[in-house]
Structure 1
Amino acid sequence: MGKYKRILPWVILVFISLLSVIVLRHNATMYNTPIGEVTYVQTSKTGRSSDQFGNNVKTTTQRVTVKLLNTTHKGQVLTIVNTYDSAMAINQPVKPHNQIFLSRADDATWQFKTLKRDAVWVPVMIFVLGILIISMGRAGRLTVLSLGINILLFIVTVTLDLVTDNGNIFWLFMIFSVIAAALTLGLVMGFKNRQMWVIFLTVLTATALALLISEIVFTVTKQNGLHFELMSYITQLPKPLFMAMTLVGVLGAVMDEATDMIATLFSVQKERPDMTIREIIATGRHVGQEIFGALSNTLFLIFMAEQIPMAILYLRNGNNWGFTYMMNMSLGMIQTLISAIGIVLTVPAGIIWVLIVRKWQRRKEALS
């Protein structure tokens, strides 16, 4: 009986994932954008093209037969032309049974926009979250709940930015960061857990100091070398948007380190209640030093991974490293450096808050 009880959640998860595939393959009527299913593809022409920098790509033209699945044209069969190259940077090939989004160039011409992918990524997301919930139990459920709340908070924050004047986004995301950090730590660790509040205060302190130092440096240097105008798709004041992006990045890095360090300090104090202040400081520094190097390199590698496509594109089109760095990497590198400052500051901030709470707790015990 126990064996079947352990298998049942996995069976339910697989069933829900497969059911979501079926539902999402037949949800075209929920969209206002025209959606069609590819019924036949014929490759009508192939060729090669090159540019002055020696970049060569193979081009392919497809004649695609599509059956419309929604709108007032539902059931109509039409033929569109899809052209793509081997790089697939802008356009992509289509295959029979693909569902695609369409647009109308005029009354007689339809165009392929992009693939409809919800029937793939939503079931995968359900399966991954299901594994988390089943394998981690209550902690997994609370983690998924905190993730959902943070997504909702993010949507609300962006919506508030859209309906307010330019320049408020940094302050909106500051409020978002405080609430998100409190809810994430509280749901996972418990709101009555003293360790949770020490981590929360450490995160706020280190993040605020890192941003304050960066703002002082920007002011002293008069932002020389900073090209906020190079940020992609800017629709409002660039600096507040850059600082908001940096705030969220620093928050994540600091929370990661603070959780590990504070948890270790609390665990060591529980084993050795008679630890001196010097020993607590030494332990905190040692833990911080162990985490700092790996976490800083992880942030740098994540940043570099994001920049690889555009960096290669710029370099292959005749641009030098200096121009490529300025156009694509300079602001991201600054964000990484600010995050690294936050990681360093987490160690003294965490130690100070641990000592403050320790002193407060001992005074409370002495009075009681």
Structure 2
Amino acid sequence: MIVVAVMLLAYVGLRHDTVFYQRQLAEVVTVQKTRTTTQHDEFNNVTHHINQRVHIRLLNGKARGTVTTISNSYDSSLALTQPLKPGMQIFLSSVHGGHGWQFRTMKRDATWLPLLLGMFTLVMVQMGQAGRKTVLAMVVNMGLFILTTYLSSRMQDAAVFWLFIIFSVLAAIITLGLVMGFQQEQTWTVIITVVSTIFLTLGLAQLVFWLTNERGMHFELMTFITQLPGPMFMAMTLVGVLGAVMDEATDMIATLYALLMANPKVTVRQLITAGRHVGQEIFGALSNVLFLIFMANEIPMTLLYLRNGNNIGYTFQMNLSLGMIQTLISAIGIVLTVPVGIFWVWLFRSRRTRGMMP
């Protein structure tokens, strides 16, 4: 009930917050289809183009409450355009010297923000104190990511990668520290494992790129790139590796510390064996999750290329090659997490043992 109440309150509030916007907002009142045309291409793809006459009511500004009419066009693929329906709240841009309006984009916060708040509330209710720490870590990381992307748009291209390195280190420290506790040795073992594994993984990737002279790396195929594609590709890879390595390192090191608590005299060989077993259990599932996330993101463009007569090889090169390389780099990071984590657990254990000796 608490989750539903939070979501309903958020939805109602966001549907009635239009007076706080400076950009012109309107609500769709009625919609009429005025014209429909059909287009065929040489590959037998059929696209329907629909024109709409839309009656809208302005929701803010000096003309608030005024009802006017705009036009909207969309096609059946809905790839770049979308139909308008009654009840939608939309942003407008002025045309004809301020004497008319044109549909710009939808106001979506009343859809995704209640879902986000509902998820946060559910986590806090179900997990208690741990859930509240998890939500706090997520909010802080969102703020860090927004700040990082804002700064990256105002810095030199080559500095983008180093900016995201700083973000990754801070995100790892804040997330693990809030969830596991900043004063726990286990927390800092995980943090050091994550950071060192990331640097080792990206270092190996850069070495391979240098030895192969980046043959087969078509950075120019990255979409919506306005900066140097090389550093941006490495920054994207860095964030992906961070998530994968942090997931595995947390599980593996928690298992090794539990083993040390149960048997303080455990040998190095036993630590290595236990760490390898945990890594083997996690590697397959985590690598496949990363691959499926990557494939899900690329399905629309892949289908678009295939339906327009391109063969699989060309489609792979244009859409899937860079993502596959990122997935492979993340998989290498998952593999390297095991020896790196075992090393740091052994090192901290050795220092603690020497400190206890007279």
Q: CA deviation at 1:85?
A: 2.3
Identity %: 54
Identify the residue that residue 177 of structure 2 maps to in structure 1: 186
Residue identity in the other structure for 1:171: W
Identify the residue that residue 40 of structure 1 maps to in structure 2: 30
Equivalent residue of 1:59, what SS? Answer: strand
Identify the residue that residue 205 of structure 1 maps to in structure 2: 196
Residue identity in the other structure for 1:98: M
Could you list the per-position Cα deviations for residues 214-237 of structure 1 after superposition, in whole angstroms to 9, with x for gaps in the alignment?
000011111111111111121111
Aligned residue among 234, 237, 240 for 1:243: 234
- Larger mean CA deviation between 42-51 and 242-251 belongs to 42-51
The runs of at least 4 aligned residues of structure 1 exceeding 4 Å deviation read none
Q: CA deviation at 1:47?
A: 3.7
Q: CA deviation at 1:201?
A: 1.1
Equivalent residue of 1:163, what SS? Answer: coil
Gapped runs of 5+ residues in structure 1?
1-9
After TM superposition, list the pairs within 5 Å mapping 1:157-176 onto structure 2.
Answer: 157-176=148-167
Q: CA deviation at 1:206?
A: 1.2
Could you list the per-position Cα deviations for residues 209-263 of structure 1 after superposition, in whole angstroms to 9, with x for gaps in the alignment?
1100000001111111111111112111111111111111101100001011111
TM-score by length of 2: 0.96
Could you list the per-position Cα deviations for residues 274-314 of structure 1 after superposition, in whole angstroms to 9, with x for gaps in the alignment?
21111111111111111111111111111111000011011
Q: Do structure 1's residue 311 and structure 2's residue 302 form an aligned pair? A: yes
Equivalent residue of 2:48, what SS? Answer: strand
Q: CA deviation at 1:109?
A: 4.1
Q: CA deviation at 1:38?
A: 0.8
Residue identity in the other structure for 1:72: K
Residue identity in the other structure for 2:198: T
Q: CA deviation at 1:74?
A: 2.2
* Structure 2 CA distance for aligned equivalents of residues 339 and 212 of structure 1: 13
Aligned residue among 253, 256, 263 for 1:262: 253
How many pairs does the alignment contain?
A: 357
Aligned residue among 208, 211, 216 for 1:217: 208
Could you list the per-position Cα deviations for residues 125-170 of structure 1 after superposition, in whole angstroms to 9, with x for gaps in the alignment?
1111100011000111001101111111112222222332221011
Residue identity in the other structure for 1:44: T
Equivalent residue of 2:339, what SS? Answer: helix
* Structure 2 CA distance for aligned equivalents of residues 40 and 161 of structure 1: 42
Q: CA deviation at 1:110?
A: 2.4
Aligned residue among 325, 329, 346 for 2:320: 329
Could you list the per-position Cα deviations for residues 165-188 of structure 1 after superposition, in whole angstroms to 9, with x for gaps in the alignment?
221011111111111101100000
Equivalent residue of 1:185, what SS? Answer: helix
Identify the residue that residue 299 of structure 1 maps to in structure 2: 290
Gapped runs of 5+ residues in structure 2?
none
TM-score by length of 1: 0.93
